[in-house]
Amino acid sequence: MVRDPTTGALLRTGDIIPEVAVDPRAGSNTVYAVWQGRSATSPSSVYLSKSTDGGQTWSDPEIVNKVTRTQAFTPSVRVDRNGAVVITYYDLRNDDADPELWTDYWSIVKRPADTDWAESHISGPFDHSTSAIARGYFLGDYAGLAAADSSDVFRAVFGQPTGTTEDRGSDIEESEADEEP
């Protein structure tokens, strides 16, 4: 469960919703799965596992969010036609003890020849505590990710607060970005 580190208020996240993506390249049997779960350093981290045999066997899960000491949540994953893997997620790395719950939306990219993930900032910080309340602070069921028809472009769709603590609300935002951070 993801909670505001200062107040303990619950955040409604995609904690029960794993995502999968298939490498679309000809001859590839590679499948990726991402999900959020507790780790040794955080109540909520983003995990990735990979199968190179169409899902018969899987790699050991690895934590892929860049700042492992903070809560990261609601991951999405896609693979482009060149085999680049992109994962998006929210995290609380910029939050502090102030009343606001500072949240950011990030993407990480790993191309077939890369040894590590490259991170890019998509949006934020925004005050998550001004979002709608539905069994916790709720940005919506809007997070998603798509690989564009052309290479090197991904489109992220995500929820972002648009309200205040007196008049709460969330909206759908959209970001199109090159893979390059």
CATH code, residues 2-178: 2.120.10.10
Global pTM reads: 0.87
The pLDDT score that the predictor gives to residue 41 is 93
Residue where the block lists tokens 């995500």: 158
Could you give the CA distance from residue 4 to residue 118 in angstroms, rounded to a whole number?
27
3 state SS of 3 = strand
Give the model's pLDDT for residue 138.
85
CA separation, residue 74 to residues 91, 125, 140 (Å)? 9, 16, 11
CA angle centred on 91, ends 100 and 156, rounded to 5°: 110
- Cα 129 versus chain centre, distance: 18
pLDDT of residue 167: 65
Could you tell me the mean pLDDT of each successive run of 10 residues in the chain, 181 residues long? 94 90 95 96 96 97 96 94 93 94 94 93 92 84 69 66 64 55 37
Say how far apart CA 76 and CA 10 lie, in whole Å. 21
Per-residue pLDDT, 133 = 85
| CB neighbour burial string for 38-47, b if at least 16 within 10 angstroms, e if fewer | ebeebebbbb
Residues ≥6 apart with Cβ < 8 Å to 49: 32, 33, 58, 59, 60, 61, 62
